[in-house]
Amino acid sequence: MFNPVDFDDQGAINKISLGEETKESIISGTDEAAGFISKLLADITKGKNSPVIAAFDGYTGALWSQSLKLIADNLKAGSINAVIENFGKVYKSRDRLDELFADNLPSDREKDPVLLFGKLYKGTYDDILDERKSDELLKKLKDAKSRTGETGVIIVYGYGCTIKRFRPLLDYVFYYDVAPKNVISRARKGMLINMGDNVPRPIDEFIRRCYYVDYEIASRQRLELLTDKAIDFYVDNNDLSNLKIMPGKALDSIMSALVKYPLRCKPVYLEGVWGGQYIKKLRNLPSSVRNVAWAYDLIPLEVSIVADTGMTKVEFPFFTFVQKEGINLMGEYCVKKFKGYFPVRFNYDDTYHGSGNMSVQVHSGHDYNIENFGEHGRQDEAYYVVATGHSARTFAGFNEDADVDEFLSEVKRSEKEYTVVDYEKYINHVRSFPGLQVLIPAGTLHASGRNQVVLETGSLTVGSYTYKLYDYLRPDLNGKPRPIHTWHGERVLRKERKTTWVKENLVRPPALVRKGEGWAEYIIGEHDLLYFSLRRFEFEKEIMDDTGGVFHVLTLVDGEKVIIQSAENPEYSYEQNFLDIVIVPANMGRYIVKNAGDQPVCIHKAMIKQDT
């Protein structure tokens, strides 16, 4: 997510039922939150004969300065001395960290012309600290704790300040969390730096470092704090003018309540050179937005989730929710198999009334991703066609008579010399229509054609390994040529996947699973290479299903509105509108989908195949 649209979609609100105590414990407002923290710290100093130590940790992109100034001013007004320690000063220097991360952020422009890819860093905050400086800070805090007769407050803030060897000294842990979209928005405004830096890097360099290093370290730290129940107070740091703070117990209550309901994430929108107008109009984006190329409705590491508590709304990263409620949300099978990550992603690719096709591209498989990028597995995809205009097509595989080596020679020459490639000479296509499902296992050449909207389903990767082989010589929205990745693309391309193989494996007619009066379920996309199964519900009034202990993802692809509700507890429900993408948590078990409109309904269903 390099440049999200500045639009806050208020359509994805999850209303949950909470106890009064939990609702009343959530404090809204930046001044109010600072006042609460100040009073909390002031009160505890009264019973202490040594300084109180409070730590302010947070996810990448968290900003503490406004809060800390208000807290320090409040304490000073109450004649309480406050000392503030910046944990960022104990990191290794920028040069030493750049050396440490060199293998994770290689600079080979033959393989990666614009330095987009990297290798996931597997370390923790402990690995990036200057040993001498961190020991000095630790000793300073220990000495302060051991001195009697001195009171006041010591505030330690910064990413990683709650690592285990510091935690025994802390009286309170405050954790500031931020949705990924807001991290990028703050970075683009020059508000953020990478760990160990003193000044902001160029934005693309900053984002690449975040994806392969900073986010990885911060996520591990957050998981540890959640697992150890070490967060005393959780802070929604998304709106700097309206912070929300709650006790760790309230966070537990919100998330344990939310996971009982069908739920929807808050989408993120991105413009693109081939972007269309369908999603923009459907979701009422402002006229200042040129188009929507991608709508990230459920990209697990990119989206957030909003809970309406009845008194206020709280927003947190979806991955925080996954880390906290993984088993209830995904099921024990998925948590073990995918090591705690939500294993599928969903977004819309919109070329409807746009300027052209998506790029001709290919993705890499399991071994390639692990060896080159330290990833979790292969990057498979699937396109489900939602809407089409005239002459819409979906490209997949090669034509039966295509000379693939000649194609590769042509696209490599085009990458260097900007020559036109007659791509239709080589690439197979199928006519698109609403309801068409096309599977795209890693290694399959593909592109979504002009004038359609597709629901894209993808497998688990942290990064995005899209190797564009040809992009019609068009510049990007910034006026620069779009990067081409023939070096990687050539190495992962499955040359043998041609028209006949595509028809027999990737574009199959629906297969009936079960049916009853006025309803049916079909398999519309399934292959041994893919670990997810794609289904479709078709019904007039209602249909019942069972998660069987593994989450389902439902998308209303035809129809006006439905109600998704638990069979045993109907109050756990969600009203789903056209093209909303809704998760049915694994722990729901039996659930019912009821038609709340006047027309027949089709719902796209995605589920994980369980090993037998």
Topology classification of domain 30-258: Rossmann fold (3.40.50)
Do the two domains 268-299+328-505 and 511-608 of this chain adopt the same fold?
yes
Instruction: Specify whether the CB–CB gap between 233 and 174 falls below 8 A.
Output: yes
pLDDT by residue (tens digit) across 238-287? Answer: 999 999 999 999 999 999 999 999 999 999 999 999 999 999 999 999 99
- What pairing do the DSSP bridges indicate for beta strands 561-566 and 590-595? antiparallel
Average the pLDDT over 490-516 and give the result. Answer: 98
Each domain of the chain, given as residue ranges in start order, spans 30-258, 268-299+328-505, 511-608
* Mean pLDDT across 565-584: 98
- Per-residue pLDDT tens for 526-540? 999 999 999 999 999
Torsions phi, psi of 83, nearest 5? Answer: -110, 130
Taking the C-alpha atoms of residue 257 and residue 59, their distance in angstroms, rounded to an integer, is 23
Tokens representing 162?
């709650």
Radius of gyration of the chain (CA): 26
CATH class of 511-608: mainly beta
Length of the chain in terms of residues written: 612
Q: What's the rounded Cα separation, in Å, for the pair 573 and 432?
A: 34
pLDDT tens, 418-439? 999 999 999 999 999 999 999 9
pLDDT at 69: 97
Per-residue pLDDT reduced to its tens digit, 435-448:
999 999 999 999 99
**Both tokens assigned to 358:** 């998506």
How confident is the model at residue 147, as a pLDDT? 84
pLDDT above 70 for 1: no
Residue 379 has pLDDT above 60, yes or no: yes
CATH number for the region 268-299+328-505 comes to: 2.60.120.10
Which residues have C-beta within 8 Å of that of residue 37, sequence separation ≥ 6? Answer: 54, 67, 71, 174, 233, 245
Is the pLDDT at 612 greater than 60? The verdict is: no
Model pLDDT for residues 283-326, shown as the tens digit of each residue? 999 999 999 999 999 999 999 999 999 999 999 999 999 999 99
Residue 375 structure tokens: 């990833």
**Sheet containing 542-546: order of strands:** 542-546, 590-595, 561-566, 573-577
Residues 570-579: contacts with CB under 8 Å, at least 24 apart: 571/17, 572/260, 572/261, 572/262, 573/261, 573/262, 574/14, 574/261, 574/262, 574/263, 574/264, 576/262, 576/264, 577/11, 578/282, 579/279, 579/282, 579/348, 579/386, 579/555
Per-residue pLDDT at 393 = 98
What are the tens digits of pLDDT across the range 30-76? 999 999 999 999 999 987 888 999 999 999 999 999 999 999 999 99
Distance (Å, whole) CA 290 – CA 285: 10
Whole-prediction pTM? 0.97
Mean pLDDT of 6-21: 96
